Chains A and B, each alone.
Chain A
Amino acid sequence: DAEITQSPRHKITETGRQVTLACHQTWNHNNMFWYRQDLGHGLRLIHYSYGVQDTNKGEVSDGYSVSRSNTEDLPLTLESAASSQTSVYFCASSEVMWRSFGPGTRLTVT
């Protein structure tokens, strides 16, 4: 069965370190998204991609970057982790509009 996987599922890192969260999908979807989810907020879009070599900034992109070198993967990099980036991160993919989500990565920045 097609799926989206994220790794690691849990991560603790220190302020200032670079962190990369992996997202891999076997749906063969062109569209991929990264969201963060915090208490009291809806899912907030960080970056998204509509295909290989395409990347776009979402509403909360500061301090994050992505790259899309193939259809299956969209890694999310925190250039210099900050405590404000402690959150749960979800990767999603879609072909049309509805999103299929990965299991999430819980990131703690100390």
Chain B
Amino acid sequence: GQNIDQPTEMTATEGAIVQINCTYQTSGFNGLFWYQQHAGEAPTFLSYNVLDGLEEKGRFSSFLSRSKGYSYLLLKELQMKDSASYLCAVTDSNYQLIWGAGTKLIIKP
């Protein structure tokens, strides 16, 4: 079957760095997405990786290793507004998105 695993919840301190991991087992691979979702709101697109390596976008970076079925989202200089759920999703061989259950990130002052 197809499976996406992420930690359920993480806690970090304002100003610090946090890494949210995602491992996947899917039938085929056509890219990996990270979305941010604040409580009660819609998911919003953060990043897309299709090739191995690190993609940097401001305070957020996303890494992919296709051979290991692994990705992480790195958030630097954490701000209180980064408190949200972070969703990992993989596009399979049929170009369907398979979603992880999300990681709830709690930022403490």
A97 to B29, CA, bound (A): 13
Q: Which residues of A contact B93 (CB under 8 A)?
A: none
Residue tally, chain B, CB below 8 Å to A: 21
Q: In this assembly, does A103 line the interface, its C-beta being within 8 Å of a C-beta of chain B?
A: yes
Q: Which of A43, A90, A100 contacts B45 (CB 8 A)?
A: A100
On B, residues with C-beta under 8 Å from A are 4, 30-31, 33, 41-45, 48, 87, 89, 91, 95-102
On A, residues with C-beta under 8 Å from B are 40-45, 90, 97-104
Q: Do the beta carbons of B48 and A43 come within 8 Å of each other?
A: no
A101 to B33, CA, bound (A): 14
Distance in angstroms from A107 CB to nearest chain B CB is 14
* 20 A-B residue pairings within 8 Å (CB atoms): A40-B101, A41-B101, A42-B89, A42-B99, A42-B100, A43-B89, A43-B99, A45-B96, A45-B97, A90-B42, A97-B30, A97-B33, A97-B48, A97-B95, A97-B97, A98-B33, A99-B43, A100-B45, A103-B41, A103-B42
